[in-house]
A and B are shown apart, each in its own frame.
Chain A
């Protein structure tokens, strides 16, 4: 494989059907980046949860999907950005079963378990950016117990 050019896609999240586009784009890029089926499925599922949060809690926004290269090799990083009210208490929002939209309360906490890296930037003043990163080969150097 040649060195991949900096690949990046931005998908607007304005309506329900945009979630489908986010899922499809994440899957397509994950496949091209060499993700195995389980890793792909986990990342696509996390992306689906987070894109829905962007729509329901953030009032819409966008997903930014990009190929990244780290110690563990190639990976995919997806950011979900909105300019909604923000998350006042990130720790609370990340606890299992906590829901403000009548869901199962597993979206945010669950998606954290599906990826290798998870970062939330949000404040009481509004706007949220959630970034998740998964590696094509999560068991390679730098991401194991060592």
Chain B
């Protein structure tokens, strides 16, 4: 249980994709921040897509990590797009007083990639649906 970030950072050719899966302990969030920022610098990506559709909760700690990843990526000339936030998470974050200004959002990874002019072939991934 002492593992650091095991979250893969995928290089989609000029775009980085990070999919956060399930529960994220604080130390993993912090190492994610380092890993992602290093990956942005190393790959020279102009975009970073963070998929949080698997997260059933985002608290102020994780919101801060996400905002800092976006801020440091911006300084490295990469734009961050947050993808797939669940409605209950969005309602809770706003009520908590955190609306994550400065972060772009998109519904799906495909939509986020399109905003960078990158087309992703959609394999039939089970969608999040509208319910």
Number of A-B contacts (CB under 8 A): 74
Looking at A1-9, A60-68, A78-86, A103-111, the stretch in contact with chain B turns out to be A103-111
Asked if B77 CB lies within 8 Å of chain A CBs, one says no
CA distance A52 to B59 in the complex (A): 10
Distance (Å) between the CB of A104 and the closest chain B CB? Answer: 5
Please determine whether A44 and B23 come into contact, CB atoms closer than 8 angstroms: no
> Total interface residues on B, using CB and 8 Å?
23
Please determine whether A104 and B23 come into contact, CB atoms closer than 8 angstroms: no
Please determine whether B92 and A45 come into contact, CB atoms closer than 8 angstroms: yes
Please determine whether A114 and B92 come into contact, CB atoms closer than 8 angstroms: yes
> Total interface residues on A, using CB and 8 Å?
27
Distance (Å) between the CB of B64 and the closest chain A CB? Answer: 5
Looking at B8-16, B32-40, B95-103, the stretch in contact with chain A turns out to be B95-103
Asked if A17 CB lies within 8 Å of chain B CBs, one says yes
Which residue on chain B has the smallest CB distance to residue A18? B25
CA distance A42 to B91 in the complex (A): 8
Asked if A20 CB lies within 8 Å of chain B CBs, one says yes
